[in-house]
């Protein structure tokens, strides 16, 4: 963005926005500017409709029959294919189930089992912590296994890859900075050494186009409660390329993953394809909320979504640096738009207090220790005018010193 627009220009951007009609399909509290969809997406009206149907009719009236007549039992795979369309996965390679952490555990075990002569997992020192916690958990079951970390053992992931590595676990978009990695290039680098790759798409799915099949990815995991708006605690997803289905295994051998679950056999026999990544009974009400959330995505052109995402983040960076330049904010996200997801992070020594002051004024972003203010831009319901107004409020808080109010320094139990 070469010139800073005025508010009339911002209004014109909203008037020309091809996605603007989607905003009315979400439930947005009056007077709130919500820039935290990269933590929890807002509710859609369709999700509430699905919940009402599932609770009052299917559970309330049809009861156990709904496993068949409402398709409850098949939902992990039917919803999986719908998520798969958004991440560049052909049918039959994605399942919606469990949590991101559990799916990371499954995928890491599956990848290491496919590379039995290798004992090293490579990941990022700056990864979202659960990825590293699960990697440590997997290695605790495999004597002699080691974890190599970017930023700790070498400057880049690429420098850590050699013929002793079984699998790379990497975030497509960094949760704190919003930096976007080159999926195809890193996957190829890994494959050149016989290494498998698991991509964490938690800050990618629903934020920008992804082409897992085109990049020849092995495995991927992600959540559905951020940009996909599936609701708090919504089930996660896992992807495994078809070429691995014949040999893949994972240790959480629950009855939903059995080839014949209702035969009630005493020994486990893995189902075919993505069935073998299922474990226990899935949270059907959460699944139904996600079904409603995904209905909207059937109408979304991901290229148009990415265009608006970049427009929103470019505008936010330009306005913050123009209006708040004297107040010590430092851009943590890539300035190059091609290397940025759908979020922008700024650092400040008093980031926590400033964010609390913003929230008190109706602008919701989030804080990540030690000094990051993080703002997520969900193109389906965030407008260019929202960006303008948010920066106006931020400027006022910084200029007046409103963030210095003692109440904003009080740390909540969860921050």
d(CA 5, CA 10): 7
Of 330, 360, 362, nearest to 345 (Cα)?
330
CA distance linking residue 269 with residue 368, whole number of Å: 44
**Of residues 226, 276, 288, 340, which has the active-site annotation?**
226
Burial of 192 (0-12, 13-18, 19+ CB in 10 A): exposed
**111-127 burial, b if ≥16 CB within 10 A, otherwise e?**
bbebbeebbbbbbbebb
Residue 200 bears catalytic tag? yes
Sign of CA pseudo-dihedral 109, 110, 113, 117: negative
Summary count for the chain: helices (H), strands (E) = 11, 13
| Residue count (the chain) | 415
Does residue 36 have an active-site annotation? no
Please answer whether residues 215 and 239 qualify as being in contact, where contact means their C-beta atoms are separated by less than 8 angstroms.
Answer: no
Catalytic residue among 23, 25, 48, 128: 128
Instruction: State the catalytic residue, choosing from 225, 237, 277, 381.
Output: 225
Residue 268 annotated in active site: no
Bridge partners (DSSP) listed for residue 373: 346, 367
The one catalytic residue in 17, 98, 200, 386 is 200
In this structure, are residues 85 and 96 in contact, taking their beta carbons and an 8 Å threshold? no
Identify which of 218, 119, 107 has the alpha carbon closest to the alpha carbon of residue 166: 119
What are the catalytic residues?
Answer: 128, 200, 225-226, 374
């Amino acid at each position: 963005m070469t010139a800073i627009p005025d508010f009339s220009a911002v209004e014109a951007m909203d008037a020309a926005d091809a996605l603007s009609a989607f905003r009315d399909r979400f439930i947005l509290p009056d007077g709130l500017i919500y820039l935290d969809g990269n933590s929890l997406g807002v509710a859609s009206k369709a999700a509430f409709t699905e919940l009402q149907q599932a609770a009052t009719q299917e559970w309330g009236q049809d009861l156990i029959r709904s496993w068949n007549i409402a398709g409850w039992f098949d939902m992990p795979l039917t919803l999986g294919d719908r998520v798969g369309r958004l991440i560049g996965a052909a049918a039959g390679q994605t399942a919606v189930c469990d949590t991101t952490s559990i799916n990371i555990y499954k995928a890491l075990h599956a990848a290491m089992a496919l590379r039995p002569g290798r004992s090293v997992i490579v990941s990022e020192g700056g990864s979202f912590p659960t990825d590293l916690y699960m990697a440590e958990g997997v290695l605790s079951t495999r004597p002699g296994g080691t974890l190599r970390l970017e930023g700790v053992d070498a400057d880049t992931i690429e420098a850590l890859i050699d013929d002793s590595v079984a699998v790379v676990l990497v975030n497509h978009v960094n949760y704190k900075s919003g930096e976007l990695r080159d999926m195809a290039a890193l996957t190829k680098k890994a494959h050149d050494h016989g290494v498998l790759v698991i991509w964490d798409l938690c800050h990618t799915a629903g934020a920008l186009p992804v082409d897992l099949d085109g990049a020849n990815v092995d495995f991927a995991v992600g959540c559905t409660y951020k940009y996909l708006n599936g609701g708090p605690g919504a089930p996660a997803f896992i992807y495994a390329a078809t070429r691995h289905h014949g040999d893949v295994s994972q240790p959480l051998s629950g009855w939903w993953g059995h080839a014949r679950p209702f035969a009630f056999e005493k020994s486990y026999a893995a189902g075919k394809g993505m069935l073998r990544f299922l474990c226990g009974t899935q949270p059907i009400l959460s699944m139904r909320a996600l079904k409603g959330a995904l209905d909207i995505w059937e109408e979304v052109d991901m290229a148009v979504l990415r265009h608006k995402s970049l427009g929103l983040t470019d505008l936010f960076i330009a306005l913050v640096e123009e209006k708040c330049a004297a107040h010590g904010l430092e851009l943590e996200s890539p300035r190059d738009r091609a290397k940025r997801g759908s979020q922008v992070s700024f650092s400040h020594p008093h980031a926590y207090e400033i964010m609390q002051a913003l929230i008190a004024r109706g602008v919701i972003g989030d804080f990540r220790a030690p000094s990051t203010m993080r703002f997520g831009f969900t193109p389906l319901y965030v407008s260019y005018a929202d960006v303008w107004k948010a920066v106006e409020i931020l400027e006022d808080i910084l200029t007046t010193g409103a963030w210095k109010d003692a109440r904003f320094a009080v740390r909540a139990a969860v921050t």
